[in-house]
Amino acid sequence: MNDLPATATCPECGTQLGPAMLNCPTCKRLRHSDELKQLAQSAEQSEAAGDLSLALGAWRRALELLPPGTKQGEVISAKIGVLSLRVERDPSAAPKQIVDGATKPRKGGLAWLLATAALLLSKAKTLLLGLTKGSTFFSMLLSMGVYWAAFGWRFAAGLIVSIYIHEMGHVAALARYGIRASAPMFIPGLGAVVRMKQYPHSPREDARVGLAGPLWGMAAAIGFWSISLATGWQSWAAIAKVGAWVNLFNLMPVWQLDGARGLRALTRIERIVLIFALAVAWVLTHEGLLILLLLVAAWRALAEKGAEKPDVGILATFIVLLAILCPLTQLKVRGLAQ
Ligand SMILES: [Zn+2]
Ligand SMILES: [Zn+2]
């Protein structure tokens, strides 16, 4: 919130207000009451028009302008919770803002076909959007240089594309929930990050934003693998294999990794189910990384109480990710550095 004036005077009682004050200490008048009214109005209009992501964005901004512990803040928090659940349950809720109602299929196959094409185009747009940011592009080139030196240019370019798709998964989920975030930044040799400018409202939201990255990354790995099957190009199989491994690594439930954000939404019993799934995956593949994931998940199941409410959707997402990423890490590749 750098756009606040350094100091201001309360229009109600004339008290001097410091830069961080959200209400007047004397008469309690809200500093941003006009902007709050506008935000509430535009949120309600967006909701009525069916654009839940836009409505969520306006409510989140409003929450930032309210001092903590106010009645209005509680009401807005509750609204965000309800809208967030609606976005989660209605898969067509988010793309509406991008394709102007084209995602609502009416009767007939043609309309459905058009809607699907529009949805795909909207995804392509999301993918391309990140490329227009100069910092992303520059850091991507830097990253590419490091991988290039190690593995050759085809592999380097493919891996960068995989990581990019992974990050855009986070970006798309954040946009769906109306959470402001930066464009992806590539860290040479390490991967990439998207920095959130607002906190997710609940562990439920955070888990979905967290696992969206590995989900998109998994789709990218399947894509690269399919191309290698069709063409016999080994560098593409190498990209699928390493990409799958990188996404699996990101599922580790520790630090700020995606897996940690997913795990936060799981109850202790769900965590034990996940540990069981990891054990099965290890027995089937003997992928060493799974032992590490299992140990960390076991430690967190023992050390913490876990979420209060179960989140079957997130548990199922973890299991699908394991079921697809683990076999992909086992791909046989001839001559990795070609
Ligand atoms: Zn005042
Ligand atoms: Zn991620």
Q: Is residue 137 part of a domain?
A: no
Q: Is residue 194 part of a domain?
A: yes
Counting other chains too, the contacts that 94-103 makes at CB distance below 8 Å and 24 or more residues apart are 94/52, 94/53, 94/172, 94/175, 94/176, 95/119, 95/122, 96/50, 96/51, 96/53, 97/51, 97/53, 97/54, 98/122, 98/125, 98/126
Phi, psi of 90 (to 5 degrees): -115, 100
When divided into structural domains, the chain yields a total of 4
Q: Is residue 317 part of a domain?
A: yes
Q: Is residue 188 part of a domain?
A: yes
Q: Are residues 232 and 318 in the same domain?
A: yes
Q: Are residues 231 and 253 in the same domain?
A: yes
**From the CA of 282, how far away is ligand 1's center (Å)?**
63
Would you give per-residue pLDDT tens digits along the chain (338 residues)? 445 556 788 888 888 888 888 888 888 888 888 888 998 898 888 888 888 888 888 888 888 888 888 888 888 888 888 888 888 887 665 544 433 333 333 344 455 455 545 555 555 555 555 555 555 555 545 544 555 665 577 777 788 788 888 988 898 888 888 888 777 776 665 567 777 777 888 889 999 999 999 999 999 999 999 998 898 887 888 888 888 888 998 998 988 889 999 999 999 999 999 999 999 999 998 888 888 899 999 999 888 888 889 999 999 999 999 999 999 988 877 654 43
Could you list the residue range(s) of the whole structural domain that residue 36 is in? 32-86
**From the CA of 216, how far away is ligand 2's center (Å)?**
9
Q: Are residues 48 and 23 in the same domain?
A: no
**From the CA of 34, how far away is ligand 2's center (Å)?**
37
Q: Are residues 64 and 150 in the same domain?
A: no
Q: Is residue 78 part of a domain?
A: yes
**From the CA of 287, how far away is ligand 2's center (Å)?**
21
Q: Which ligand places an atom closest to the C-alpha of 211? A: 2
Q: Is residue 336 part of a domain?
A: no
- 37-94 pLDDT tens trace: 998 898 888 888 888 888 888 888 888 888 888 888 888 888 888 888 888 887 665 5
Q: Are residues 180 and 296 in the same domain?
A: yes
Q: Are residues 158 and 301 in the same domain?
A: yes
- Taking a 5 Å cut-off on Cβ, the residues next to ion ligand 1 are 10, 12-13, 15, 24, 26-27, 29
Q: Are residues 160 and 212 in the same domain?
A: yes
Residue 258: predicted pLDDT: 93
Q: Is residue 334 part of a domain?
A: no
Q: Which ligand places an atom closest to the C-alpha of 30? A: 1
Q: Which ligand places an atom closest to the C-alpha of 170? A: 2
**DSSP symbols for 34-77:** HHHHHHHHHHHHHHHTT-HHHHHHHHHHHHHTSPTT-HHHHHHH
**From the CA of 71, how far away is ligand 2's center (Å)?**
35
Tell me how far the alpha carbon of residue 211 is from its chain's centroid: 7
- Taking a 5 Å cut-off on Cβ, the residues next to ion ligand 2 are 213, 258
Q: Are residues 95 and 227 in the same domain?
A: no
In the structure encoding, which two tokens stand for residue 243, read together? 């990409």
Entry pTM: 0.74
**From the CA of 83, how far away is ligand 2's center (Å)?**
24
Could you give the angle at which helices 234-250 and 288-303 cross, rounded to 10 degrees? 10
Q: Are residues 254 and 198 in the same domain?
A: yes
Q: Which ligand places an atom closest to the C-alpha of 21? A: 1
Q: Which ligand places an atom closest to the C-alpha of 16? A: 1
Q: Is residue 338 part of a domain?
A: no
Q: Which ligand places an atom closest to the C-alpha of 10? A: 1
Q: Are residues 51 and 153 in the same domain?
A: no
Q: Are residues 160 and 251 in the same domain?
A: yes
Q: Are strands 185-187 and 191-193 parallel, antiparallel or unpaired?
A: antiparallel
Q: Are residues 128 and 149 in the same domain?
A: no
